[in-house]
Amino acid sequence: MSRIIFMNDRLVPEEQAVVSVFDHGLLYGDGVFEGLRSYSGKVFRIDAHLDRLYDSARAICLTIPLAKEAVAKAVNDTLAANGLADGYVRLVVTRGAGSLGLDPNKTKHPQVIVIADTISLYPREFYEQGLRIVTAATQRTHSAALSPRIKSLNYLNNIMAKLEGLQAGCVEALMLNHKGEVAECTGDNVFIVRGGRLLTPPPDAGILEGITRNAVLDLAVAAGIDCREATLVRHDLYTADECFLTGTAAEVIPVVEIDGRRIGSGVPGPVTKRLTDDFHALVRS
């Protein structure tokens, strides 16, 4: 069945959702994006996602040709057109078509694209039994070279680390920053539990501040769990009582083994389970 895609100012069948081969989003990864989730017909924290999208665009001098309200309507209209109450949305803004060469001033007509579909990032048994992950040799891009707060279309850094994980038989991989500190996984933020305290790397470790990450921090505070941002190294993860990842597509997923080291008891722990349940309740509320 053909999906319906929003392109710039209208909904079109996917066969008509095309961009120029001269679009700098294709040629150079020049653009920004967001991934959003809809639960029971309502997009989770859409305002936070749109704020981040527009901040990312502003940081690379890309003018989004629609107001936030219009983009929000496009997201909801695309979900409705595809009959999705529970779905995943990929919202993309490209630099637009131009001449060959890096100069963004030689482009025109930035493209606003909204794709809605279902998603199942990991099999159900991974949520029940936990993930095995490995540390990638590919480092997180130095934040002084490119701010991790820009959610750009160029994901090659993450893809190279993802390949390392897949080649090791794992669906996810841990990325370190240039100082050897824990940053994030290829598509998810990292949390650990030690001594009843919830810890996650701070923004200056080179992470994207995930919308789900921030929601889980809010839930932990509401549950009375001692939580804080802290610089972490692999030793902290190896010796943690629990570990889990968060992301828009992944939601909350436990990790039970890192680099061949069993984490805690080797099964999803009580804090992970509590926050998973609380997150599911939040998105359905």
Q: Which residues are catalytic?
A: 151
Could you give the CA distance from residue 195 to residue 3 in angstroms, rounded to a whole number?
A: 48
Distance CA 71, CA 256 (A): 39
- In residues, how long is the chain? 285
92-102 b/e (C-beta count within 10 Å ≥ 16 → b)? bbbbbbbeeee
Whole-angstrom CA distances from 79 to 10, 94, 232 are: 13, 21, 39
b/e map 193-220, b = 16+ CB within 10 Å: bbeeebbbbeeebbbbbbbbbebbbebb
> Residue 23 carries which DSSP code?
B
**Distance between CA atoms of 64 and 167, rounded to whole angstroms?**
38
